[in-house]
Amino acid sequence: MPLKKKPVTGMKDILPAEMQVRDYVTGLIKETYKSFGFSPIETPCVEHIENLCSKQGGDNEKLIFKIMKRGEKLNLETAQSEADLTDSGLRYDLTVPLSRFYSNNANDLPTPFKALQMGSVWRADRPQRGRFRQFVQCDIDILGEPTCLAEIELILATTTLLGKLNFKDFKVRINERRILKAMASYSGFTEDQYDQVFIILDKMDKIGWDGVKAELIESGYPEANVEKYVTMFDEMEKAEDALAYLSEKLSGVLEEDVIENLRTIRTSVEATAASKFQLVFDPTLVRGMSYYTGTIFEIEMAEFGSSVAGGGRYDKMIGKFTGKDTPACGFSIGFERIITILMEQNFQVPGTSGKKAFLIEKNMPAEKLCEVLKEAKAEREAGAQVLVALMNKNKKFQKEQLSKEGYTEFKEFFCR
Q: What φ, ψ does residue 224 adopt, rounded to 5°?
A: -65, -40
Secondary structure letter of residue 193 according to DSSP = G
According to the annotation, is 95 in a ligand binding site?
yes
Q: What φ, ψ does residue 134 adopt, rounded to 5°?
A: -120, 125
CA 92 vs CA 96, 133, 291, 296, 338: distances in Å? 9, 10, 14, 19, 19
Q: Is 79 left (phi over 0), alpha (psi -120 to 50) or beta?
A: beta
**Torsion over CA of 181, 182, 185 and 189, rounded to 10 degrees?**
-30
- Environment class of residue 345 by beta-carbon count within 10 Å: exposed (0-12), middle (13-18) or buried (19+)? exposed
According to the annotation, is 94 in a ligand binding site?
yes
What CA–CA distance (Å, rounded) separates 139 from 330?
Answer: 7
- Let me know: does 144 contact 327? Beta carbons within 8 Å: yes
According to the annotation, is 137 in a ligand binding site?
yes
- Let me know: does 162 contact 362? Beta carbons within 8 Å: no
> Which residue from 7, 137, 6, 171 is spatially nearest to 60, judged by alpha carbons?
137
- Environment class of residue 178 by beta-carbon count within 10 Å: exposed (0-12), middle (13-18) or buried (19+)? buried
What CA–CA distance (Å, rounded) separates 381 from 400?
Answer: 26
What CA–CA distance (Å, rounded) separates 411 from 391?
Answer: 10
What CA–CA distance (Å, rounded) separates 185 from 177?
Answer: 12
Residues 6+ apart with CB under 8 A from 217: 223, 226
DSSP per-residue letters across 275-331: S-EEEEE-TT---S-TT--SEEEEEEETTTTEEEEEEEE-TTTTHHHHSS---EEEE
The helix or strand, by DSSP H or E, that contains position 232, with its residue range, turns out to be helix 223-238
Residues 6+ apart with CB under 8 A from 347: 21
According to the annotation, is 291 in a ligand binding site?
yes
For residue 138, the SS3 value is strand
Residues annotated within a binding site for L-histidine: 93-95, 123, 137, 141, 287, 291-292
Residues annotated within a binding site: 93-95, 123, 137, 141, 287, 291-292
